[in-house]
Amino acid sequence: MTTKSKVLVDLKIALVQLNSQVNQVTQNINRTWSLLNKFKEKTHKTPDIIVFPEFALTGYNFHSRDHIFPFCSLTKESESFKLAKQVSKLFNCYTVIGYPERTSTNNIDDGEPLYNSALVTSPQGNLIFNYRKSFLYQTDHDWHCHENPMGFQTFPLTFKQPNGKPDITINTSIGICMDLSPYEFEAPFIDFEFASYNLDMGTELIICPMAWLHSSSITDKSLSIIEKNEKKLEILQNLRKLDLPPYGSQNDFQFDLEKHTQKFKSLESDDYSRMDEPDLSNVDYWIRRFLPFLDLDHRTHWFQTDLIEKVLNGKDEEFLQHCPTKKSFMGARTDIPWAFKGKNMIMVNANRCGVEDGTTVFAGSSGIYKFNGKMEPGELKDNSKNHSVELLGNLGKGLEGIIMREVLFQVER
Ligand code: GLN
């Protein structure tokens, strides 16, 4: 029997936060390059991986298949692949970027499935992986996006290590925005489908390109036109107060290379103000969706009773449907109270910012998190205040920018 040992991994991760607008692909790409070039000039940093948001270059709010179709491409023919290839070669790094994918080579729309995807290029600029969003949001349904037929997936990424240490292959997965939420917002919150899948698969790096909404967005379809217009006016007036155009901030770049997010700051940052500060209530929600990776004081109790056994073997139909791996429930397994104990996992989310249609306000706050697998006695919170998650940093909610962190974590090999 070979005994496993702990290996310390050193990764430099950069996230790009953009306010891309529909119908402005060229401007979006140009701004992306000016952001990247400023980052390079200013910092001389060499990230190992750069992550872009969901639909990074096209904008997000498409309303029908006809609306989105001209912006969809085969993976290798997309502007996003072209950009990712160039970024990878320039920085000698992996690049992950979200884009709308078509699947047929016909010139016309032949009714083929369209996907909300994220492609990955290697430091040499080759396409090495393509993931399609599994759980869809209302806006994706509006243009008849298809679900990933494969469901959640993992894939290996091999990284160079400093000081002549051998390369290390990391078990990685991608979750695109709604993948983090309960399926169709209907599955039980406590199933934590995406997090449970990744815990069961032993994922060490979770990459989330996102277009996540701020709570001031108008999403209620039952509003009358008058009510909707009143709310639109509120958003517009708020933007005016902040001296911003109706689509939010562009070109006022934020670079963040070191500031840790303060855990114990109050969550007063709910409202859409202070563009350079993260939206901590959303940060809290994202962390809560990874509860299987958080230290909890209840698990030992569950373990002593046969609660987990009952849930996992009781074949709760709804739970089984979207938790394909089905080995754990809220981080607990029948053979061990907390399957993640003593392990490490890095989660990054590259979210977009800005406003689309005067109705959809995006939450920005792109961030880098380390789940450290440590256990402590006492009452433990099920959110970002939990001691077992380290908030390594977040960009502000409303500014375009780049955040980069050098992350150290342990894996077993
Ligand atoms: N749950 C996400 C939200 O509320 C979904 C958005 C998305 O998938 N782009 O913002």
Query: pLDDT tens-digit profile of 78-131?
Result: 999 999 999 999 999 999 999 999 999 998 898 999 999 999 999 999 999 999
Active site residue 133: yes
pLDDT at residue 310, rounded to an integer = 76
State what percent of residues in the chain have pLDDT above 70: 95
- 53 C-alpha to center of ligand 1: Å? 12
Return the ligand 1 atom nearest residue 137 CA. Answer: 8
Mean pLDDT of the chain: 93
Question: Residue 368 in 3-state DSSP?
Answer: strand
Select which of 72, 145, 177, 208 is catalytic.
177
For ligand 1, atom 8, the nearest C-alpha belongs to 178
Mean pLDDT of 368-394: 93
Give the residue from 252, 227, 218, 256 showing the smallest Cα distance to 362.
Answer: 218
Beta bridge partners of 380: none
**Catalytic residue, candidates 54, 193, 204, 390:** 54
Minimum-distance ligand 1 atom for the alpha carbon of 213:
10
What does the radius of gyration of the chain's CA atoms come to, in whole angstroms? 21
pLDDT at 267: 55
pLDDT bucket at 183, cuts 50 / 70 / 90: very high
CA of 362 to the centre of ligand 1 (A): 9
CA distance 32 to 68: 21
Using the atom order of ligand 1, give the atom closest to the CA of residue 135: 8
| Span from the CA of 115 to the centroid of ligand 1 (angstroms) | 16
Average pLDDT over residues 227-238: 97
Ligand 1 center–CA 365 separation, angstroms: 14
Nearest Cα to 293, choosing from 157, 175, 198? 198
Predicted local confidence at residue 377, as pLDDT: 85
Out of 132, 135, 137, 284, mutate this one to test ligand 1's pocket (max ligand atoms within 8 Å of CB): namely: 137
Report the nearest-CA residue for atom 1 of ligand 1.
178
> At what angle are helices 79-91 and 25-43 packed, to 10 degrees?
10
Label residue 171 exposed, middle or buried (CB < 10 Å: 0-12, 13-18, 19+): middle
Ligand 1 pocket by Cβ (under 6 Å): 54, 137, 177-178, 181, 211-213
Q: What is the mean pLDDT of residues 163-169?
A: 96
- pLDDT value at position 43? 85
Which residue is catalytic, options 12, 85, 133, 397? Answer: 133
Name the residue ranges covered by the structural domains of the chain: 7-217+245-295+342-412
Q: What is the per-residue pLDDT across 106-117, written as a single tens digit (0 to 9) for each?
A: 988 989 999 999
Name the 3-class secondary structure at 120.
strand
Residue 173: pLDDT over 60: yes
Centre of ligand 1 from the C-alpha of residue 379, in Å:
30
pLDDT at residue number 319:
62
Strand order, beta sheet including 127-132:
127-132, 115-121, 94-101, 49-51, 6-17, 401-412, 254-256
Least confident of 128-132, 161-165, 256-260, 385-389: 256-260
Relative to the CA of 181, which ligand 1 atom is closest? 1
Ligand 1 centroid distance, CA of 177 (Å): 5
Q: Output the pLDDT for position 265.
A: 63
Given the CA of residue 180, which atom of ligand 1 is nearest to it? Answer: 1
- The answer to whether domain 7-217+245-295+342-412 has CATH 3.40.50.300 is no
Residues 196, 333: contact at Cβ < 8 Å?
no
Mean pLDDT of the 214-225 span: 95
- For range 238-255, the mean pLDDT: 97
Q: What is the pLDDT of residue 55?
A: 98
